[in-house]
Structure 1
């Protein structure tokens, strides 16, 4: 138990250090700026557009924007990171350390979750200043958005780690990771009302955490009257908590198992072959 706790502590410190370094990275800073400018420009030019029942477009669009950032940020990000660190030999070195894989996963969880926060902040904070009535629920809506974001990231992030463990190489993350996430987002109410889809598609969507993240974000931003248009005619807050917590627990256990299994099969020759394949792909 002490070794496991020590490994988790080392992993968390490593993840926090990587996050601090990423904040100083010009590339990451440029990405945050690009997302903020693009999102705020879109919302500003549509700030006076009314989208039914007195709701303005920024209020209606914000849940989808934040849900999309969570879906892609905490799934595709760790998938790429794990696939690349498997190819460069990082996981092979960690395998030799006591509880190295446990430490690696805990560090990745902290780093990837923390990395999404600046992205959400550069979108949400200026939007709250620029657009009136963004949170119809006041501070209750703000608190709802916070716990949905935290549980949503805990539920989704291990899925990215699993994808990164299963893909044959980093170049396949776009196909094996991006495509399923896009499809899932389309049927989960992130970009399109799930209520307008076929019944069986609605059932499939509710089996995954992305639907509940989108539902929770809508409950944070939209007035209570808007819940009448949801499946079941309510926000189903209690069920949202249960589903996201269940997914967080199950996916974390599954991610640990999959990474350990993948690491046991890693060898120096596989790392060398992966490096050679990456060089050939770049050429």
Structure 2
């Protein structure tokens, strides 16, 4: 039975796969996706001779799971916000709005695209770390399962934040300038590249209230030995708490993001798109 919703779902899935293929063949997209990974991997390799204080684990081996968690968060917040703002300005959203259930197909397509790109980047990081870092291994099937659910749940927790930001920020070029500073601040207190347990207690509480800390913690649990628990905040991987916090962020985020996206879609018109294009040409 081909209902409009089912047709939109199928179209969204096909669109997401097509956009993913385009991303993997576009030089600009590949440079954007891979550039940061190359930088962090290079820095990690430079740190191979140093160990995390109080453990025998190389700093580089701790950084790589943190980089995987950071990649998930960047995809969910910055990439989603940038895509949404760009496609609002170039008329893609307006065209989706004009088709029955078009917004459903659009959102499904974006979700598929982001999930596939993020999963690919995480997989590349796993392969590079396994090949280049001594003692870096996945914790068996349980480790693979952990990486999978942390990636998916992490995207569900962060993508609504990106959607809200992309809906509210007026210019695609302003997305990075507006979001980068607070994102870097969150990264700085979330223990992505060092022990969060060494931070002041009030910073630890803030970090544990945000998704990035739990995404990075989940990734570390999949790759690092239990001896690394001595540098964690409560000497536990706390995967059950990680799942609960990320699920709570996902639910709360979607409750906020859905009405914001609906409001943005209702306000889209040909006149707004044309005005946006004129502003972009003037800035260019």
Q: TM-score, normalised by structure 1?
A: 0.90
Q: Which residue of 2 aligns with 1:43?
A: 44
Superposed displacement of residue 7, structure 1: 1.8
RMSD value, Cα: 2.2
Structure 1 pair 107–252 and aligned structure 2 pair: CA distance change class (3 A): farther
What is the aligned counterpart of 1:98 among 85, 97, 100? 100
* Runs of 4+ residues deviating >4 angstroms: none
Contact 1:135–1:142, Cα closer than 8 Å, also in 2: no
Structure 1 pair 79–120 and aligned structure 2 pair: CA distance change class (3 A): same
User: SS at 1:233's partner residue?
Assistant: coil
Superposed displacement of residue 145, structure 1: 2.2
Cα deviation, 1:8-48, whole Å, max 9, x if unaligned, reads: 22112111111112111122334455445434433333323
Contact 2:57–2:228, Cα closer than 8 Å, also in 1: no
User: SS at 1:109's partner residue?
Assistant: helix
Write out aligned runs for 1:8-87 (5 A): 8-52=9-53, 53-87=55-89
Superposed displacement of residue 121, structure 1: 2.6
Q: Which residue of 1 aligns with 2:185?
A: 183
Superposed displacement of residue 157, structure 1: 1.8
Cα deviation, 1:196-218, whole Å, max 9, x if unaligned, reads: 33333322222221111011112
Q: TM-score, normalised by structure 2?
A: 0.90
What is the aligned counterpart of 2:212 among 198, 201, 210? 210
Of residues 15-24 and 227-236 in structure 1, the stretch that sits farther from structure 2 once superposed is 227-236
Of residues 35-44 and 11-20 in structure 1, the stretch that sits farther from structure 2 once superposed is 35-44
Q: Which runs of 5+ in 2 are unaligned?
A: none
Cα distance in 2 for partners of 1:199, 1:32 equals 34
Superposed displacement of residue 137, structure 1: 3.4
Q: Which residue of 2 aligns with 1:89?
A: 91
Contact 1:149–1:213, Cα closer than 8 Å, also in 2: yes
Superposed displacement of residue 185, structure 1: 1.4
Write out aligned runs for 1:194-273 (5 A): 194-273=196-275
Q: Which residue of 1 aligns with 2:130?
A: 128
Cα distance in 2 for partners of 1:172, 1:40 equals 28
Cα deviation, 1:183-230, whole Å, max 9, x if unaligned, reads: 211122123433233333322222221111011112122221322332
Corresponding residue pairs, total: 282
